[in-house]
């Protein structure tokens, strides 16, 4: 037993000796090397009155700038420049540009080291003629400021569709932050900049303090008059509304409606319920006028004035009433989709867009009268115990927004990211990317009025777009829209999320030639 205790004591002593040696080694290393180097920081020098000049010693002259830089490196606000705010402003650029050292080019070139480098100089990126003509010119503070304020005015013909950063302070912060994203330390002088705020200064409210849903008009009076920045249309794409029916088509529908009106009085309930119009193939080509011959009440139904819980409709807001695209009091589901002003302007929904058949007895798509049992398609006309197939109808306009960060390159959810992309003169941030660049060949289907949608998008807020792309979400998933090719699309590189997407709308949704 004593031998064991002796060994334990010896091992413990050896352990303490090794620990002491390691502590001495670490302390010696820190004393020899000094503290770890702090990251380089941008310094905006404040304008100050001239001071008496004294000749510094060689040692003092060499160390003074380094000491100033090291001290400033711990500050995010220096002489009127807020690097944190500049980084936040850059979030609006991330959809098209990477900023990491060695990052890939996207729709725009990688921006690591952009401050001070020659224009149109990133290898492998295909610049527009407008920027190629500026090759060799330096992206200095003045050039970046002019370009960021209004890219299309500063470089006429540029492919960059971003509307610009309108506030001078935001541009100054952004340029200052970009200057820190470089292999080389950059020190800028900002004339007239105020010295860094002291602890007694009243802090200025940051953009983070603004409500996420404040919108582009939050800071304007109610009677403000705004002139919207014009938004160009993409080259090579023509938008058109759903063609109106010809006189012959209208006459054919009228004849079918007349025949139904003659037959209905002699039908009992079961005969009407099993009328061929309710099943394939007749329902596939049925018009809304035929359906409404019996079901007209869906357009006149009204919400209850008071809910069962005693809440008055006039004292509450339905979720759809919170959108810019809806006007008026609460209304019935079918009326909102078929008869509201907005619905009729942007859509041309027929009853059989949602209702494609039924089975009154089993309520199963595999038992629908008129066809062999258990022969329903993988994506049937309606799902079990339902009148419709929500995944092929409701989800088109009521799905979640596609992953805004990993797919769309945004800084976060749309209600947050829009703050970096919108201002009063450009209230639809969606068009920052989707005016001339991504997915410009869109809405060309027989249930949407593409030309009207584009017009409303250019003359309204992003609610016009977001309303059907996340703003009215009933689901946690988004609809896998076909990836219809657009002019300039990279057809060879298919993102992982789009690998199995079709390249054209379903046949039933295509506009007849």
Q: What is the pLDDT of residues 341-367, one digit of tens each?
A: 889 999 999 999 999 998 888 889 888
Do 229 and 429 form a contact (C-beta atoms < 8 A)? no
Distance CA 453, CA 43 (A): 47
Which pLDDT value is given to residue 206? 40
Which pLDDT value is given to residue 26? 56
Q: What is the pLDDT of residues 41-69, one digit of tens each?
A: 444 433 333 334 344 444 443 444 444 44
**Residue 187 clears pLDDT 70, i.e. is over it:** no
DSSP 266: G
Lowest-pLDDT range, 23-32, 51-60, 156-165, 489-498? 51-60
Distance CA 392, CA 357 (A): 14
**Of all helices (H) and strands (E), which one includes residue 25?**
helix 2-33
| C-alpha distances out from residue 382 to 15, 72, 395, Å | 74, 65, 13
Q: What is the pLDDT of residues 76-128, one digit of tens each?
A: 545 578 888 888 888 778 778 888 988 888 778 999 999 999 998 998 888 88
3-state secondary structure of 416: helix
Which pLDDT value is given to residue 326? 81
Instruction: Give the pLDDT mean for 391-398.
Output: 92
Q: What is the percentage of the chain residues whose pLDDT exceeds 90? A: 34
Give the angle subtended at the CA of 436 by the CAs of 432 and 437, to the nearest 5°.
80
Count of C-beta atoms within a 10 Å radius of residue 410: 23
Q: Are strands 188-189 and 44-45 parallel, antiparallel or unpaired?
A: parallel
3-state secondary structure 29-90: HHHHHCCCCCCCCCCEECCCCCCCCCCCCHHHHHHHHHHHHHHHCCCCEECCEEHHHHHHHH
3-state secondary structure of 312: strand
Instruction: Give the pLDDT mean for 175-179.
Output: 91
**Residue 433 clears pLDDT 90, i.e. is over it:** no
3-state secondary structure of 353: helix
**Residue 330 clears pLDDT 70, i.e. is over it:** yes
Count of C-beta atoms within a 10 Å radius of residue 484: 18
**Residue 202 clears pLDDT 60, i.e. is over it:** no
The confidence band for 456, taking pLDDT boundaries of 50, 70 and 90, is: very high
What proportions of the chain, in percent to the nearest 5, are helix, strand and coil? 40, 5, 55
Structural domains of the chain in order of their starting residue, each with its CATH number: 65-197 (1.10.760.10), 217-302+318-489+497-513 (no CATH)
DSSP 111-162: -TT-TTSBTT--TT----HHHHTTTT-B--HHHHHHHHH-HHHHSTT-S---
**Residue 71 clears pLDDT 60, i.e. is over it:** no
**Of all helices (H) and strands (E), which one includes residue 189?**
strand 188-189
Q: What are phi and psi of 55, to 5 degrees?
A: -80, 115
DSSP 380-414: -SS-TTSSS-GGGTHHHHHSPPP-TTTTT--SSSH
| C-alpha distances out from residue 245 to 103, 226, 339, 512, Å | 52, 38, 18, 12
The confidence band for 306, taking pLDDT boundaries of 50, 70 and 90, is: very high
Do 299 and 339 form a contact (C-beta atoms < 8 A)? yes
Q: What is the pLDDT of residues 232-287, one digit of tens each?
A: 898 889 999 999 999 999 999 999 999 999 999 999 999 999 999 999 999 999 99
């Amino acid at each position: 037993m004593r031998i064991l205790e002796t060994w334990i004591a010896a091992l413990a002593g050896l352990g303490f000796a090794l620990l002491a040696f390691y502590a001495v080694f670490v302390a010696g290393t820190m004393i020899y090397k000094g503290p770890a180097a702090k990251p380089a920081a941008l310094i905006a020098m404040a304008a100050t009155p001239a001071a008496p000049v004294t000749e510094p010693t060689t040692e003092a002259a060499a160390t003074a700038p380094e000491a100033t830089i090291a001290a400033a490196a711990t500050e995010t606000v220096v002489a009127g420049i807020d690097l944190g705010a500049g980084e936040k402003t850059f979030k609006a650029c991330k959809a098209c540009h990477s900023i990491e050292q060695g990052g890939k080019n996207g729709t725009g070139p990688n921006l690591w080291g952009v401050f001070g480098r020659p224009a149109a100089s990133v290898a492998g990126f295909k610049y527009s003629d407008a920027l190629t003509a500026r090759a060799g010119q330096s992206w200095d503070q003045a050039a970046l400021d002019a370009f960021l304020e209004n890219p299309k005015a500063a470089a006429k013909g540029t492919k960059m569709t971003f509307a610009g950063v309108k506030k001078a302070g935001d541009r100054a912060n952004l340029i200052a932050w970009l200057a820190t994203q470089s292999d080389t330390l950059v020190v800028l002088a900002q004339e007239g900049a105020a010295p860094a705020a002291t602890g007694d200064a009243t802090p200025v409210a940051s953009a983070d303090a603004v409500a996420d849903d404040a919108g582009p008009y939050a800071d304007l009076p109610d009677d403000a008059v705004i002139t919207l920045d014009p938004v160009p249309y993409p080259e090579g794409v023509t938008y058109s509304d759903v063609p109106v029916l010809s006189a012959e088509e209208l006459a054919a529908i009228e004849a079918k409606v007349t025949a139904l009106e003659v037959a209905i009085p002699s039908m009992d309930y079961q005969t009407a319920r099993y009328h061929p119009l309710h099943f394939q193939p007749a329902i596939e080509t049925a018009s809304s006028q035929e359906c409404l011959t019996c079901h007209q009440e869906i357009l006149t139904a009204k919400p209850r004035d008071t809910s069962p819980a005693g809440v008055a409709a006039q004292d509450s807001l339905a979720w759809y009433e919170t959108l810019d695209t809806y006007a008026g009091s609460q209304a019935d589901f079918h009326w909102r989709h078929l008869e509201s002003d907005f619905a009729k302007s942007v859509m041309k929904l027929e009853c059989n867009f949602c209702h494609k058949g039924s089975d009154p007895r089993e309520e199963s798509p595999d038992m629908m009268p008129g066809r062999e049992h258990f022969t329903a398609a993988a994506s049937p006309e309606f799902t079990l115990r339902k009148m419709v197939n929500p995944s092929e109808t409701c989800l088109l306009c009521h799905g979640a927004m596609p992953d805004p960060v990993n797919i769309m390159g945004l800084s976060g959810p749309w209600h947050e990211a829009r703050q970096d992309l919108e201002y009063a003169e450009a209230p639809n941030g969606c068009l920052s990317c989707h005016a001339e660049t991504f997915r410009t060949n869109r809405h060309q289907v027989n249930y949407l009025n593409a030309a009207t949608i584009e017009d409303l998008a250019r003359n309204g807020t992003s609610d016009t777009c977001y309303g059907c792309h996340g703003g009215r979400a009933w689901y946690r998933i988004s609809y896998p829209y076909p990836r219809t090719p657009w002019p300039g699309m990279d057809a060879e590189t298919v993102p992982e999320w789009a690998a199995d997407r079709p390249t054209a709308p379903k046949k039933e949704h295509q506009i007849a030639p």
